[in-house]
Structure 1
């Protein structure tokens, strides 16, 4: 047995000794009588957006319930001003900080802890010290399945999309989970109908899923011929700023003048406002795709493999077109730079044109 497994086994013993004093399974809870719930999601932006339908389902079922969000500081700008969240606490991924925040939460006597996406054991330690009677967790497909016996109910991911798994989790409390619509938690500047603005994200969480610069250049050229008035807006993280240089280098001066480079230059609030005012966003599977979904902005998204568990938009199918590299090549590893290179540029252009029309 590895040292990690030994540590988790020992930790599980102590957590269960502590929790067994007042554990309650979700089927024995009358959610309408629950006063305080802690919802935990301290992962990336997209992962938080995936749980927004479940958060709304909780508040719709019991408008007077107090929802306290436990998340990371990097999500602060994302959830400020959310109408469904009554309070926010922040936690780092460390045992010391999880104990600190758990003891702080214990002062408000939360009855229920719901972990949508967070790294174990820190999330479960925090909820144990918070003293919740019922603890339920969604384990993502690629997450280590540790401390399961410390939870009162779980949903194991890896088969269905995260939005559906999060709804299944709160569904165990008897709340209505029919609505899969994500929302953007913070206030965002309203949509504008001025001009044709196409967003392009070149980067992704891994270089093998980047939107290849040479393909993006061909898309810009083709779209510009049919919609000469359009502007193209590049978005992405600061560490992707070099990608814009590659795109500028692949275009002539006339087309380069149509490009506005926002990569690494916006706050999260500014990024959301940009996406809200795009006519359409072309992007790989990224947090920006999920922002666009939550804001009901049209998208053309590029995925490597078609699979049931993928994080493709689960709402507004008329707004979102998805192209899969695996539909064009049986072996998706066809390029040293990106697995998306097997998607024909013509199909990306056609999907974007449909969205613009």
Structure 2
């Protein structure tokens, strides 16, 4: 999602170019019909699959590789093996000296939002875009919302220290349902997070279970987008679903402690989003940092969003 403003700007600048997107298989349903690109090759970023996928891309005779998100050194090797004459790379890392001959312009992003850093790199191509809005690359189904409030819970995160405690989500659910007995809560997440709703339901008294719909591991990316689109607010840490909700212009309450919202938080429609950011003291340590965000803080933020 962070890449879409840059991709859109590149397409606008090069309307007649053939643009091939290199993406992961897990994002196939999201990007396969993206109208800003002409073709897609799917790569798992593993060295064992580099040659066959690079040869697949080579048939499109690429001249320029714009590397917006990837891992050294495989990304540069991929671009060279695909036949690119020029490589533009967005990186925080030092490029090994033996790679420098392939990279036309290595850009060290400033301390800014990741979306802006991607737009900054394409300035080397003479593209100066101020349009930072993310866009959904696929068609999504419009679901019937119903006549009740819907609150989404994304309990998982990329790392354990970025997760708000499950017991806090349970307490939040109880407080929200006690306030509004018709309110529905949708649990979302990937198939790698199936243990989270199990733990959630163990802790949640049975009288609240009918207000909860467990969608964890049960949605494709397009169907997840459809579910987020009917939410009145999504409660989440620094996760992919946060950025999907932002793109869909759905309100969010996002929880940050170890991550920095100035870098990966909401960057558009700021009036729709509440950021709760707690930095741990040196004595508290990273592992307990998300615990600093209280249930009452999140409840008040969700309440305010539902009233607005």
Q: Give how far 1:158 is off.
A: 7.1
Q: Is the 8 A contact 2:109 2:120 kept in 1?
A: no
Instruction: State whether residues 181 and 315 of structure 1, in contact with CA within 8 Å, keep that contact through their aligned partners in structure 2.
Output: yes
Give, in angstroms, the shift of residue 320 of structure 1: 1.4
What is the alpha-carbon distance in structure 1 between the residues aligned to residue 27 and residue 272 of structure 2?
A: 26
Q: Does the CA-based 8 Å contact 2:86-2:102 persist in structure 1?
A: no
Aligned to 2:189: 236
1:160–1:308 Cα contact (<8 Å) kept: no
Query: Structure 2 length as normaliser, TM-score?
Result: 0.90
Structure 1: stretches of 5+ with no match in the other structure: 1-48
SS in 2 for 1:245: helix
Which residue does the alignment assign to 1:342? 292
Q: 1:208-258: per-residue Cα shift (whole Å, max 9, x none)?
A: 221211111221122223332210011112232222122223322221221
Q: Greater shift after overlay, 190-199 or 234-243?
A: 190-199
Of 253, 270, 277 in structure 1, the residue corresponding to residue 206 of structure 2 is 253
How far is the alpha carbon of 1:72 from its aligned partner? Answer: 2.0
Q: Retained in 2: the 8 A contact 1:334–1:342?
A: no
Quote the residue 2:31 is aligned against: 79
Q: Deviations over 1:307-335 (max 9, x none)?
A: 47521011110111111121xx4248468
- Range moving further from structure 2, 248-257 or 345-354: 248-257
Partner of 1:352: 302
Query: 2: distance between equivalents of 1:240 and 1:331?
Result: 30
> Which residue in 1 is equivalent to 2:272?
319
Runs of 4+ in 1 over 6 A off after TM superposition: none
SS at match of 2:270: coil
1:107 corresponds to which residue? 59
TM-score normalised per structure 1: 0.78
Q: How far off is 1:283 after superposition? A: 0.4
Q: Which of the numbers 278, 283, 294 marks the counterpart of 2:231?
A: 278
- RMSD after superposition: 2.2
Q: Structure 1 residues 199 and 279, CA, compared in 2 at 3 Å: closer, same or farther?
A: same
Mark the structure with the bigger radius of gyration: 1
Q: How does 1:5-154 map to 2 (within 5 A)?
A: 49-95=1-47, 97-139=49-91, 141=92, 145-146=95-96, 147-154=99-106
Q: 1:332 to 1:240 in 2, by over 3 A?
A: farther
Distance in 2 of aligned mates of 1:192 and 1:176: 40
